[in-house]
Structure 1
C-alpha cells in the first residue's frame, strides 16, 4: 500500500507538471522618488488582479476559484484588457500600498500597456505606470502591496556611481524607506536573504521542469556516489552559465533554451529506463544539461534584476537558494521513495522505470509544446 501511495503522489506531480497552466510570476516595480511625487512603473499580470485571485498560496491560476474569470480576461485582446483594467483600477489600487510616515497615499493611474505576444495558454505581462503625490517634507516613501497579490520586487535605480536598491517582498511586506534624495540602502545580509528566497522559489514550487530533471538524476541510482557525481556536475555547470549569462558573456533566447531543457529531462529519464552505471559519458551529459539549466535560471534573474552594488552577494544568494531547492527535492524523494522502497527487489521495475517513463513523457510533451506552440 505504501508503494502504491508513493507512485500515486508522483503521478499527481507529473500530471500537474504536464497540464496547461497560467504560471504565477512576481510583479516588478521600478520607482523614481522625487521631492514631491514618485513615479512607479509596474510589470504585472493584470488578469489576476482584476479577477481578484489570492495568489499567495497558488502555483498557477488554474487552482483558483476564480479560474474561469481569469481565463475570460486572458481571452480579451490587449486593448480590451487595458480598458477592463482601467475600469477595475479603483478596486485594484486598494491593494497597492504607498505610505509616508504611516499615512497611506493614493495611486494615480497613468498608462496601461498589455502585451500581445504570449500564447493564450501562458500568462501575459501588463506594464502599468502610476504617480504618487507626496506630502510636504522629506520623509521617505515605503511601497508594497497586499499579500494576496503575491511576490513583488521593488527596485530603485542607482544614481551615478552609486548602488541601486532591490527588494523581493512577500506576505504583504513593505520596502525599506525610499528617500526623496538618493537611493535606499540595503544590507548585504538582507540582499543575500532576498535572493536565497528567489532562488529557492524558482525550484519549489515554480520550477517543475528543474524538479523533474533532478528527479531524473535521483531515479538513475539510489547509491550515494552516482547521485553525488551527477548533482555535483549539474551544480558546477549551472553555476558557470548562471554567472556568465548574468554578466552578459553568454546569451541564448528562451525559444532555444526552454525546449532544450525539456529535452534534457527526456534524455536522463530514458537513460534511467535503459539502465547502466555512472561513467564519464553520463557525467558529461549531465554537465552539459546543467549549462542549459543555468541559462534558464539566468532568465529569472533577468526578470527580477540584480543590485549592481551587491552583484556578487545577490548572485551567490540566488545560487544558494537554487541548491537548497534541489537538495529539498532529493531529500523528499529519499524520504518518500528511497528509504521505504529503495531496497525492495521490485523497486526498479515497479517504481523507478514507470516513474522515469512518466517523466520522459512530460519532458517530450514540453519539448514539442515549446517548439511548435
Structure 2
C-alpha cells in the first residue's frame, strides 16, 4: 500500500474515531432544574445523574464518565440500590450544597434536600437520572434570586415559569442565572437568547451528536459532486426543520426510544446505499426522498434537546437560533470531511474504492450496533454487551 493511501485511511479513521460504539456517548448531559419562587421560599426540582457527583468526577469538558479516572467508582455507585444511594446522597448533601450558588440579593441561602427519587438499578454502563427536590427559606426583603453551581458539576439548565413565557438559561463554567423575581419571571436579553441557542444547536452536533455526525458523513460519502450533496443536505434540512418545529410545539409527540432506534437505522441505510449506488454525479428522486424521510426522524431527535431547554419568552427566535446552530454544525462536519478527504484525494481514481466505500462500511457497522443497543438486543450479542 502506498504512503498516500495509508495517509488517506489514517485521515478516515481520525474522522470516524469520534463515533465510539457505545450509546453512552451522550452520557454527560446537563442537569435540568425547575425553579419555583414564592415570597418566602424557593423550591427547585433537579433532574440529574447523581453518581458522577458523588464519585467526585469533574464533569466540565468531558463527554462520558468513562473518560474519567473515577469511572469505576461511578459504575459502582450505579450498581447500588436506590435506598442505599439515597442514604449516601443524604450523608454527603452538606458538602454538595456548598457547591450550589443560591442567593437572595446579597444573602446566601442553603438548599435543603427534601426528597430524592432514584430509578432501580439497570445497566451500569448507562446513566440513570434521579430527581431531587430542594427547598430553602428566603429573607423577607423581596430580593430576586440567582442560582447556579460549580463548573465541576457540569452544565445546568434552569427553567422558571411556563415554557411559552418563562425564563430559560443554560449555565456552564460556574455561571449563575439572571436575577429571578419572586413574582413573575426574569427578563431575558434577545441577543443572549440567540447566542445561547445557536451554541446549543451547534453543541448538539459537535461534539455530542455522534449519530447525526455519522448521518451527515454518510451524505458526504455518497458523492463528491456538488449537485447530489446539495440536494441531500437541502432535503435533510427542510425535513428536520419541519419536525423540529412540530415536536417543539407539541403537535407531534413521538416515543423517543423508537425515534432513536430509527435514527440509527437511517444511518445504516445511508451507509449501505452508498456502497451499492454511490459515486454518481447525479442523484435520483428516490435517494432524495429517503434522505428527506430520515431528516424527519432526526428533527424529532433534535426536538428532544429543545424540550429539555424550553424555548421561553422568545419562542420563534429560540427555535430558529437552535436550528441555525444545528446547520452550522452539519456544515462544519461536511467542510472538515472535504478538507481532510475530498479536496486532496477526491479526484483520485481509487477514492471511492479506498475511502468512500470503507467509510460507509464503518458508518453502517457502528450504526448497526446502535440499532441493536437502542432496542435492547446488544446484551445478547457476544463481545458487544
After TM superposition, is the score higher than 0.5? yes
CA contact (8 A) 1:10 1:355 kept: no
Corresponding position: 1:79 with 2:83: yes
Aligned counterpart, 1:287: 292
Matches within 5 A, 1:31-180: 31-116=35-120, 119-158=123-162, 163-180=165-182
User: After superposition, what is the alpha-carbon deviation per residue over 1:36-62, rounded to whole angstroms, capped at 9, x for unaligned?
Assistant: 221111111111111111111111111
TM-score normalized by structure 2?
Answer: 0.91
SS state at 1:219 partner: helix
CA contact (8 A) 2:24 2:64 kept: no
Corresponding position: 1:346 with 2:354: no
Aligned counterpart, 1:327: 331
Aligned partners of 1:11, 1:275: CA distance in 2, in Å? 21
Aligned partners of 1:156, 1:118: CA distance in 2, in Å? 32
Report the CA distance between 1:135 and its aligned residue. 2.7
SS state at 1:326 partner: helix
User: After superposition, what is the alpha-carbon deviation per residue over 1:237-266, rounded to whole angstroms, capped at 9, x for unaligned?
Assistant: 000011111112122201221111111000
TM-score normalized by structure 1?
Answer: 0.94
User: After superposition, what is the alpha-carbon deviation per residue over 1:153-199, rounded to whole angstroms, capped at 9, x for unaligned?
Assistant: 1111149xx82111111111110001122211112222222222221
Report the CA distance between 1:105 and its aligned residue. 2.4
Aligned partners of 2:289, 2:182: CA distance in 1, in Å? 52
Which consecutive residues of structure 2, in runs of 5 or more, have no partner in the other structure?
Answer: 378-385
Aligned counterpart, 2:192: 190
CA contact (8 A) 1:97 1:144 kept: yes
Report the CA distance between 1:208 and its aligned residue. 0.7
Aligned counterpart, 2:237: 235
User: After superposition, what is the alpha-carbon deviation per residue over 1:185-231, rounded to whole angstroms, capped at 9, x for unaligned?
Assistant: 11222222222222111111111111100010011111221111101
Matches within 5 A, 1:198-217: 198-217=200-219
Report the CA distance between 1:339 and its aligned residue. 1.6
Aligned partners of 1:37, 1:18: CA distance in 2, in Å? 42
Decide which of 14, 18, 31 is 1:13's aligned counterpart. 18
